[in-house]
Amino acid sequence: MKKILFLRDFKKIHGGHIKFRDYFLHALKHPGVDSYVYFTPDSISQGGDLYAEAPRDRFVAQMQIDDYDALFIAGGKNWKMLPENLNGTKIINLMQDFDNADPEDEQFANLKRKALRICVSEQVYDAVAPHAAGETVMIKYGIPLDVFSAKAEKRQNSIFIWARKNKTLGKSLALELQKRDRDVTMLKDFVSRAEFARILGESDIFVALCYAREGFYLPALEGMARRCAVLCSDAIGNRGFCMHNETCLMPEHDHFDSHLAMIEQLLADKNLKTRLQQRGYEMAQTYAMQYERENLHRVLDEHIVNQ
pLDDT score at 52: 83
Stretches where the chain sits below pLDDT 70 are 12-15, 45-48
pLDDT score at 89: 93
Can you name the residues that pair with 74 across neighbouring β-strands? 94
- 4 by Cβ neighbours in 10 Å (0-12 / 13-18 / 19+) ranks as buried
pLDDT score at 29: 96
Enumerate domains of the chain plus CATH numbers.
2-142+288-305 (3.40.50.2000), 159-285 (3.40.50.2000)
Q: HEC states along 32-56?
A: CEEEEEEECCCCCCCCHHHHCCCCH
What predicted TM-score, i.e. pTM, was given to this entire model?
0.93
pLDDT score at 50: 80
List Cβ neighbours of 151 (8 Å cut-off, separation of 6 or more).
201
pLDDT score at 193: 87
pLDDT score at 51: 84
84-111 burial, b at 16+ Cβ within 10 Å, e below that, comes to eeeeebbbbbbbbbbbbbeeeeebeebb
pLDDT score at 155: 96
